[in-house]
């Protein structure tokens, strides 16, 4: 495979802290290997900035394997960049051409305030999970998997929902800054399993209440979240959440 170095112009959002006003700053990076990931390109840029005695750009990252949900970045108008079903850390520089200008912004949502540069506070998601996104009974040691028969289709649908890594791309992509795809993935993955059944009503009610409290918008089923989700969480999970909510509303005490 041919090794090719490309030169890029980066327009990156810089913001000192939550309360300060941010602005775009333009940087040039040269001879970037196309085998690099997008984050590695940022590492190169940050080393360059350190050598120039400037403050490096703050950005979130952890596993760099596409599974932790830590990386964010709104790249050229799309969360996690141009590739489908992909996280920023798995976006490689072969997605770009020599001479490109790339605009990098943080997730924009009232519920995700910017902490610094490209880092936003996503603890709202943690609080939504705490409001009910788990099974609260003490289950003791793991029982034999085959002792509790589960329909294969339900198990698969539940697993597909559990793929959500909580990165917040759905909120970033949504015109309403709604967290419904995230919330519906969490509600669906437990609602489809017998373990999640006893608390299904209180779970959906409490989690929706917490989502509203955090200041996310309401869902209008545009599908922008599904189109950008790195784990391809289906929009049908939102319809399932709606059903769970409606049934809880009609039948709970």
Partner 1 sequence: MTWKEVFTSSVGKKLVMSFTGIFLILFLIVHVGLNACIWANDNGTMFNAGAHFMGNNVVPRILEIGLFAGLILHIIQGLMLELSNRSKRGTVGYAVSYSKGSKWYSRSMGLLGTIILLFLCLHLYNFWLPNRANQGFLLGEEINLYAKMQEVFSNLLVVIIYVLGCLSLGYHLAHGFQSAFRTIGVHNKRYNAIFTTLGYGFAVIVPLVFALMPLSFYFGWIN
Output 30 or 84, the one with its CB closest to partner 1.
Answer: 84
Tell me which residues in 145-164 interact with partner 1 (CB under 8 A): none
CB distance 190 to 157 below 8 Å: no
Query: Concatenated DSSP letters for 140-162?
Result: -SPPPGGGS---HHHHHHHHHHH
Does 209 interact with partner 1 (rule: CB under 8 A)? yes
Does 91 interact with partner 1 (rule: CB under 8 A)? no
Does 216 interact with partner 1 (rule: CB under 8 A)? yes
Output 173 or 190, the one with its CB closest to partner 1.
Answer: 173
Binding mask 2-41 for partner 1 (x = CB under 8 A): ---------x----------x-x-----------------
77: how many CB neighbours lie within 10 A of its CB? Answer: 10
Tell me which residues in 58-87 interact with partner 1 (CB under 8 A): 74, 76-78
Spatial separation of the C-alpha atoms in residues 30 and 63, rounded to whole Å: 26
Position of tokens 């970037």? Answer: 32
Tell me which residues in 166-195 interact with partner 1 (CB under 8 A): 173, 175-178
Q: Tell whether the torsion through CA atoms of 82, 86, 87 and 92 is positive or negative.
A: negative
Q: Which pairing describes strands 23-33 and 5-14: parallel, antiparallel, or unpaired?
A: antiparallel
CB distance 167 to 72 below 8 Å: yes
Output 68 or 205, the one with its CB closest to partner 1.
Answer: 205
The residues binding partner 1 (CB under 8 A) are 11, 22, 24, 74, 76-78, 103, 105, 108-111, 113, 173, 175-178, 205, 208-209, 211-212, 215-228, 235-250, 252
């Amino acid at each position: 495979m041919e090794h090719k170095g490309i030169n890029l112009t980066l327009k990156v959002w810089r913001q000192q802290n939550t309360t300060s006003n941010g602005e775009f700053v333009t940087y040039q990076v040269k001879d970037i290997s196309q085998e690099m990931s997008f984050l590695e390109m940022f590492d190169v840029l940050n080393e360059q900035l350190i050598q120039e005695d400037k403050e490096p750009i703050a950005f979130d990252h952890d596993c760099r394997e596409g599974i932790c949900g830590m990386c964010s970045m709104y790249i050229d108008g799309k969360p996690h960049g141009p590739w489908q079903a992909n996280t920023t850390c798995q976006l490689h520089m072969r997605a770009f051409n020599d001479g490109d200008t790339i605009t990098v912004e943080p997730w924009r949502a009232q519920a995700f305030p910017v902490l610094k540069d490209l880092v936003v506070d996503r603890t709202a998601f943690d609080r939504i999970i705490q409001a009910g996104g788990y099974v609260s009974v003490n289950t003791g040691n793991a029982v034999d998997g085959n002792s509790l028969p589960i329909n294969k289709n339900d198990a698969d649908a539940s697993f597909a929902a559990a793929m959500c890594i909580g990165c917040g791309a759905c909120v970033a992509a949504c015109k309403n800054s709604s967290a419904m795809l995230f919330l519906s993935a969490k509600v669906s993955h437990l609602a489809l399993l017998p373990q999640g059944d006893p608390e299904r009503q209180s779970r959906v009610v409490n989690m929706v209440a917490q989502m509203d409290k955090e200041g996310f918008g309401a869902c209008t089923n545009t599908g922008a979240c599904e189109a950008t989700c790195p784990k391809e969480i289906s929009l049908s999970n939102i319809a399932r959440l709606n059903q769970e909510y409606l049934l809880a509303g009609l039948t709970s005490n």
